[in-house]
Amino acid sequence: MYQIININKQNLADYPQVICFINPKNQYFNLKMDWLAKRFAEGLSIRLLQLNDNRKIAGFIEYIPGEFAWRPVSAKDYMFIHCIWVYPNKNKHKGLGSALIDETIHDAKRMNLKGVAIVTSDGSFMAEKDLFLKNGFKVVDEIDNLQLLVMQFDKDKPSLSLNNTAETLAGINGWQIIYTRQCPWVARFIEEIKPIISQEGIEVTFKELTTAREAQQAPSVYATFNLVKDGRLLADRYISATRFKNILAKEGK
């Protein structure tokens, strides 16, 4: 029915599907490729699920030891899932997502870790919690519409939590965009809005988070993208240039 492909530094270039639906010819494709290459040294793992009948990639999962997680979590001694997808919709509800999660569980047990964790969301750009709940995960922490779930291998109380993003957020003055190159769509957005910022005559500080430790102190749980003004989080996911203009208008610049 399918096979699981282990992606590593040696074969990464052979599987452009690891870069979230961006064409390899796109100028932002290599930004994520560079980011991934650096993360392999920290223990990053990627698995692609390829269907046997048409050889198409139908699933993806990216995970890393919790101490190197690029989310505001304290998850040392756990395996942490950054991202998972099954595509297109006709491939969902066939056990493919569960098969990818099993890969993570297997690796975590092989490394004698305490369990597997993930941050899920009721919104877009992140996995929903239902897939993980049916696979034995439990919610251990929650902020707004985001949940930290864990599969604990033993009977001990889970020793992980979401970090205090509110404290980081409160210390930010003016307009700031805090981001990582984990998502190529975010990297593209950063370049798209620079002309808008110049045209509107506003001062925006850009800050790229370049290490897992920095990402773990981000002002939002998603960490990959943060649009902030004077301690208020205005967007915590990738947004379009049009939405950015609408936010500027609402805020009176």
Which element (helix H / strand E) includes 206? strand 204-208
pLDDT at 71: 96
What CA–CA distance (Å, rounded) separates 123 from 146?
8
| Domain limits, the chain | 2-162, 165-251
pLDDT in tens, 83-97: 999 999 999 999 999
pLDDT in tens, 143-189: 988 999 999 999 899 999 999 999 999 999 999 999 998 887 787 88
What CA–CA distance (Å, rounded) separates 213 from 253?
32
CATH number for the domain formed by residue range(s) 2-162? 3.40.630.30
pLDDT band at 238, cuts 50/70/90? confident
Share of the chain above pLDDT 90, in %: 77
Average pLDDT over residues 108-131: 92
Mind giving me the DSSP string for 19-46? STT--TTSTTHHHHHHHHHHHHTTT-EE
pLDDT at 109: 98
pLDDT band at 237, cuts 50/70/90? confident
| Mean of all residue pLDDT scores within the chain | 93
Share of the chain above pLDDT 70, in %: 99
What CA–CA distance (Å, rounded) separates 252 from 71?
31
The domain made up of 165-251 has a fold known as Glutaredoxin (3.40.30)
Average pLDDT over residues 107-117: 98
pLDDT in tens, 66-84: 999 999 999 999 999 999 9
Given a cut of 90, whether residue 126 has pLDDT beyond it is no
More confident call, 185 vs 206: 206
Structure tokens at 94: 């066939």
User: Whats the size of the chain, residue-wise?
Assistant: 253
Structure tokens at 130: 């239902």
What's the predicted TM-score (pTM) here? 0.94
Q: What are phi and psi of 143, to 5 degrees?
A: -135, 120
**Amino acid letter for position 56:** K
What CA–CA distance (Å, rounded) separates 107 from 100?
11
Average pLDDT over residues 9-30: 83
Interhelix angle 184-200/241-251, nearest 10 degrees = 40
Average pLDDT over residues 129-138: 96
Given a cut of 80, whether residue 125 has pLDDT beyond it is no
More confident call, 30 vs 171: 171
pLDDT at 20: 76
